[in-house]
């Protein structure tokens, strides 16, 4: 695989990890043809999450989001493949798991639990700049 092939940062969020869906997410990533090149189970610190979600600071869902994301382990995965940033976002589906289309990770496996924040199983980087920044947060030695 060429060195220049795109990379993206995927997180199986605490809801997905708790429900034992890390394998299912990885299965879909590999079935699509993307390659996991780094993988770790980590309990996020507040510092990591403040960096990761800096763009959302001040929004109404920010505090509940940090609380939710620090509630347990996540599976962090660096994936690689042509256009995998856009491709994984398509696999994940819409942010709101109720509205996410069936066939997507969030559409097939997620739902609204009536909580303060959308628990939607996965995160995926949204641009090459975000991917580089986020990979640095979760895999500082990569």
Which is nearest to 126 in space by CA: 69, 66, 53, 37? 53
Give phi and psi for 87, each to the nearest 5. -65, -40
CA–CA distance, 13 with 120 (Å, rounded to integer): 8
Query: What are the residue numbers of the active site?
Result: 123
Binders of ligand RTP among residues 76 to 115 (CB under 6 A) are: 95
CA–CA distance, 140 with 90 (Å, rounded to integer): 27
Find the part of the chain contacting ligand RTP (CB under 6 A) among 18-26, 34-42, 97-105, 118-126.
Answer: 118-126
Residue from the set 41, 61, 72, 83 that interacts with ligand RTP by CB under 6 A: 61
Residue 13 contacts residue 69 (beta carbons within 8 Å): yes
Residue from the set 35, 37, 39, 117 that interacts with ligand RTP by CB under 6 A: 117
Residue 75 makes contact with ligand RTP by CB under 6 A: no
Residue 49 makes contact with ligand RTP by CB under 6 A: no
Which positions touch ligand RTP (CB under 6 A)? 61, 65, 95, 117-118, 120, 123-124, 126
């Amino acid at each position: 695989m060429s060195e220049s092939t795109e990379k993206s940062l995927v997180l199986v969020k605490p809801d997905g990890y708790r429900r034992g869906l890390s394998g299912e997410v990885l299965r879909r990533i590999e079935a699509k043809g993307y390659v996991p090149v780094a993988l770790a189970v980590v309990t996020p610190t507040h510092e990591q999450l403040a960096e990761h979600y800096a763009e959302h600071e001040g929004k109404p869902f920010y505090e509940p989001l940090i609380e939710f994301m620090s509630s347990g382990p996540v599976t962090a995965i660096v994936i690689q493949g042509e256009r995998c940033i856009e491709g994984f976002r398509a696999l994940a589906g819409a942010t709101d798991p109720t509205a996410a289309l069936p066939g997507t990770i969030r559409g097939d496996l997620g739902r609204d639990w009536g909580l303060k924040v959308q628990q939607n199983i996965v995160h995926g980087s949204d641009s090459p700049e975000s991917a580089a920044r986020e990979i640095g947060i979760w895999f500082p030695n990569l």
